Amino acid sequence: MSDDEDWLREIEGEDDEPMPEISEVELRKVFGESPSETLVLSSPETMEHFVLVAGPRRSWLWCLHCERAYPLGSYRLVEELQMCPYSECEGDTVLDLWAWQKVRDDNPHYPEIPELGIVYPLYGER
């Protein structure tokens, strides 16, 4: 059995976590903005909501591309793609989105609630 299968079994039957309550001003300050993109905050309609992450919705997500965490419901809309909310990141919410808890499982020293804008390497501190 793979680690992913073990993880999915562990989370079956758990309830969704609520979206973190962070001010829009703070989120916009940390994520940055681009005039050609739309920053979406606190949206229940993220790609994670549909099919791509099995199990309950997690309140914190993590981007494989930039290795930073962000609250559920946040993304940049670039044309029709949902991208990581950090303006300088090229990661998307289809291939690069992970549940923060999955990252923490391999890095138990990482905080339960991550700080915005901080890089959390998947394989621990560099």
Predicted confidence (pLDDT) per residue in 115-126, tens digit: 999 999 998 665
The closest alpha carbon to 71, from 37, 39, 107, belongs to 39
Interval 65-80: pLDDT, tens: 999 999 888 899 888 8
pLDDT tens per residue across span 89-114: 999 988 898 989 899 999 999 998 99
Cα–Cα dist 102/81, whole Å = 24
What CA–CA distance (Å, rounded) separates 24 from 22? 6
Q: Name residues whose C-beta falls within 8 Å of residue 22's C-beta, 6 or more positions apart in sequence.
A: 71, 116
With beta carbons less than 8 A apart as the criterion, state whether 57 and 48 touch.
yes
